[in-house]
Structure 1
């Protein structure tokens, strides 16, 4: 029936506001049996979305007929390209580009809604795109948002009526620098805080480290600006003299100000460092005669954190009844005190506890050691040597060098100690002393004698032998008693031989 057609018309209208924008378009014949109409939305108030259309023919006979294919719809939208983001090297700015998208006649412009996911949409901002060639571009300053992490970008077209038409979306990331921190003592009341940046180093404008001692809260807090040592490594040197000289635990944290203006904390915050004394070794040296002990604290630095070193010294015998304090003298890098054993007067093990006097006058325990003052091991024995005498031998197993004098009190068992005499032993050879006892000095008593041994050491200590409470028996050196009867048995001769009663 194409030959019967005089005219083909197509009424077109948008679905907005009924048919207020209806236009009857006359179709153009393109070829036999094929007609077409081009519809421009600018003739329909720029409406986008669904359009309705129908077809009507006026025949050469004058008859007006509708298409059996009426009640058709068409959707007019945007030919959407791609939405891209490009984060700058320093992460201060992000370029948003909508490419290959045509909004001519259906929209006024393109806008981007941008916000960080952290905190919801509390930093939402709108950016109007500028058209550069076929692209719609906006440059977003991260200073307007001040948050790291993932950002949302939603793209809208503003249509001819000023409505916002959602088109598409994308995301981008602003890196939060990964700051790892550690601390190490470097002596003289200082410690170094190292900050290693695992990612996002290029975005950092400044790194700050607040530091405070655990004494009295944060009354000594200082914000240090970290110095860059090399790419990805920053550090801070902390000197306790700037923190009232406090020693002990310090807290520190790390914060980065990015080139974008964002201020972020390290995920590795709430760190602590302990500032103490770089402790070397505590040694003691007992001299040959055991009269003096040299105490030496070596390789220990208390500069800036302490005034001096003191040693508490006491013998274990008797608890701390002989406790004395000795202030060390600094000789080179060592802290030295010389302890006179005369001040303690006890043998055995001694305790040495080392303290630093800090800047506030407090005693800070550092370390301890021990030393030994030998108690001479005196073994004693006695032997009769005739003529009312006996010899007491004293053998020194150890500690002989420390002996100044050996004395042996001797008394007979008659009438208590009314005849006691303190004999000074004579040295026979190294480690051997002896005493000769004559009963004529003890009222001529024979029988049992008691004796003991006591040493006065060169240190002034007076000690008894562990072998005391010894006894010796003084009697007659008895030979043989014989009798001889004469031939006539008128006389008997009695003879006591080899017997000394002198």
Structure 2
């Protein structure tokens, strides 16, 4: 097989060996029947019993009396991962994403010595004819695999004749059609962090789908190798997430091609989407004040930018709390400014940030600061339980740690634990602390706990003051 080049209107794609590219504009309707294989009875000695086909000692396929196939897949330890039934109906239609399809011939005499499956596409006659030697896989059953890349990866009509010991038994016609439907955004922003591409209508025989992705800027310098492996959502749908961090946070055109691989490692390909990625400001539109601080980002700046500032103020009383925050460069064209709530009187409500790059206005961002945390604990506890728990929910995910300094009313702070007790993170927004009585001399009376949240930069704020009455 020769080297194939994928051509795009704007960009000349990379050259790849051993891959065929499906370029049909036609996409099948969802209700059209797609075959997973082709099964032919010779008409001489029709077999009605179940036929088991083994590969390396494992049951790979069952041909049932009704001509449906049951396929098995295994993990590396030989355990069955999946068992599924497929069907084949005339007129035969095969998805171009399948990369290949199998033709089974059954019901032939067991003493046959050779079965040949010459195959070619209707387009340009027999210029691509391939004489495929069949494989005997069970008594009276032969199989041939038609690999689409050996026929230019073309869609349209495929013809196969079947000869048994030189005698023509059958003539088959197969329609290969593009069934894949690709979904992706047309445009997106670097502020989103990533975008997703999904492809529906993939042939069920496909074992993996890969999505090579790169940006127009500087060609394929950012092409990830090995190519990104898609996540299988169901039998016919795969998806990937393209994170901008893997592509230098570049703006402009992002290209993705899609490659399907069958169990024999044959492949077929599809020109995927072009996504226009834009710069701009970004961050969450709402955050909780327990997060201590909040980062505002700007993307897509000139990599040569020397200084970025993020003047920030709250909507309350206008710019009485205006602070010019010096930005930090985090990647080429990407800068962030950290807004610390205490520098703005720890106000709730709307915060406004403008962005200046080398003195030039470059964008703005607004976000709301709220207070929604909730505590779960009992106001009264008993020594017999050995401890009590405090859980706090609604803490922003940017919080790096939460500490719970605790002491009893008796003798003041003599029993406060140093360093202050660090909470256990239960989820991205939930933390818990367990207060054992033995660390407080098993005292009864009022136990006080203050709660402090810390961001990743070491900034902190008190977010709660709680009291529990411990009794005998």
Structure 1 length normalisation: TM-score? 0.35
Structure 2 length normalisation: TM-score? 0.37
- The structure whose RCO (Cα within 8 Å, separation 6+) is larger is 2
Q: Over alpha carbons, which structure has the higher Rg?
A: 1
